[in-house]
Structure 1
Amino acid sequence: MKTTVYILLTFSIIFFSCKKDSEVVPATRGYSYAGLTVGKYVIYDVDSIFYDDFDNSTNQYYFQIKELIQSKYIDAEGEEAYRIERYKKDTAVSPNFELQVVWNSKITPSTYQKVEDNERFVKLIFPVKQGKTWNGNSLNNREVWEYEYLSVHLPEQIGGIALDSVATVTQFDDGDEILIQRQFYQEKFAAKIGLVYKKVIDVKKAFNNQTGFYENSLGVDVTYTLNSYGLN
């Protein structure tokens, strides 16, 4: 009888230990999608289209953005955070990257947060799991946006670079492809790299009497695509 009880207790300890370990793995793997390593940089090719209904103009710009994780520090909440230096290179203006702004980010046990232009966003939640949703604007004053993991842990090629594990986050999608306004925000994150793709469509449409269709008249259509990454 004692032997049977001992075997059952041993099995229970092993079972729950294994279960506990298996629950930790997804969260740990999820943290790597933030790509927070001091000295790491990512360069993006940026294609942007601006629509202006004031003069009915459409202007397209191409430039590059470089994000460098410059250092790690302790923030006002006593937590580890990372200083992100954001550079821009517009070859029509200068052949060099010029510092534009400083952002910051951090990981908590359940979130990856990033401060962009003094607004804090919850970019990811952990553990990373397809179909999970959260309010990406819960730490700022914007309206509720329900972010969702559209897909996770999938190989993908972005900017001609083969990536082993990518998580796609749809931040907002009004689903309106045809009518008078279109809003679509999506980001993709690669393990150990961070953000590798970003798409922003935020345009209003107006009816064109000549073509008989609603066409983009005011707003932006911007795409960030991974160009390269590495360590300084």
Structure 2
Amino acid sequence: MIKNLLCWILLAFVVVSCDKSYVTPDPVARGLNFYPLEVGDYRIYDVTDIKYQHNVPTELNFQMREWVADSFMDQTNTLTYKIIRSIRANAESEWEDDSVMTVTKNHNMVTLTKDNTKYVKMVFPVEEGKTWHHDAFNDRYDSDLTDKELSTYVDLDQPFSHADLQFDQTLTVLQQGIFVSPSLGKDERKEVYARNVGLIYRLFNRQKYEPCSDCPDETEPYILDGHERHEVLIEHGKL
């Protein structure tokens, strides 16, 4: 009798231990809802794209849509999402497909592959100040990661406003700049995500400066070459 009782106690202990070891992580606590990903999801952005050559800007304005068109299992048996990026001149124009990306997401990270280059867009759990190498999977830098670029989480669950955007719980991903001195140029890159919505704002601004003694305003930098781009969410939903 005592032997049977001990067996039952041991079995119960094993079951409880196993249950604890397989507790499913809370996706909201880990921040997975900053990057929602389901077939049919779409987001539309107003885009301002400015190219600089010898201090002369050329500006384009258009709209861009990112649509989760399909999902499939890749060669490693990983669930992968196909995202089609389309552009149009304005709301009255027809969409024209521009490029295709693939995204994978699990409880540890989100990766995006575009033009045969893989990037780590997010790592989980989301924590203020956490950093990672967003180009860890490509070989454009030293293989020991010493020259890899860093991404950093800031302003976790803080409100964000820009133009007509207004969201209460957002997360900003900052990417490391490449210039050691402001006199050499500018490198401002960031992405802002809102819970249950995804990317709401993206800034890409890289400029290379050159001294210019003959410029009318010597206090302003002479932009030898540069690219500034703003993407602002204007609509999202499911197709």
Interval of TM-score (by shorter of Structure 1 and Structure 2): 0.7 to 0.9
Q: CA RMSD in A?
A: 2.8
> Matches of residues 56-75 of structure 1 in structure 2 within 5 Å?
56-75=55-74
The residue type paired with residue 81 of structure 2 is: Y
Partners of 2:53 and 2:223 within 8 A in 1? no
Counting aligned pairs with the same residue, the percent is: 25
TM-score by length of 1: 0.82
More deviation, 179-188/39-48: 179-188
**SS at 1:32's partner residue?**
helix
**SS at 1:102's partner residue?**
strand
The residue type paired with residue 51 of structure 1 is: Y
* Cα deviation, residue 217, structure 1: 2.2
Give structure 1 stretches of 5+ with no counterpart: 1-12
- Max radius of gyration: which structure? 2
Other-structure match for 1:197: 201
* Cα deviation, residue 65, structure 1: 0.7
The residue type paired with residue 222 of structure 2 is: E
* Cα deviation, residue 155, structure 1: 2.8
* Cα deviation, residue 24, structure 1: 3.0
Distance 1:208 1:90, change over 3 A: same
The residue type paired with residue 32 of structure 2 is: Y
Q: Distance in 2 between matches of 1:139 and 1:28?
A: 26
Partners of 2:30 and 2:124 within 8 A in 1? no
> Matches of residues 1-232 of structure 1 in structure 2 within 5 Å?
24-25=25-26, 29-53=30-54, 56-91=55-90, 95-143=93-141, 144-174=148-178, 178-209=182-213, 210=215, 211-213=217-219, 214-232=221-239
Distance 1:161 1:38, change over 3 A: same
Q: Distance in 2 between matches of 1:154 and 1:184?
A: 20
Q: Runs in 1 of length 4+ with deviation above 6 angstroms?
A: none
Give structure 2 stretches of 5+ with no counterpart: 1-15, 142-147
Distance 1:167 1:121, change over 3 A: same
Q: Could you give the per-residue CA deviations for residues 167-226 of structure 1, whole angstroms, max 9, x where no partner exists? A: 101012347673022112111112222211111111111223232232222010111111
User: How many residues end up aligned between the 2 structures?
Assistant: 216
* Cα deviation, residue 161, structure 1: 3.6
* Cα deviation, residue 151, structure 1: 1.9
Partners of 1:27 and 1:126 within 8 A in 2? no
Partners of 2:27 and 2:33 within 8 A in 1? no
**Structure (1 or 2) with the greater strand fraction:** 1
The residue type paired with residue 62 of structure 1 is: N
Distance 1:120 1:159, change over 3 A: farther
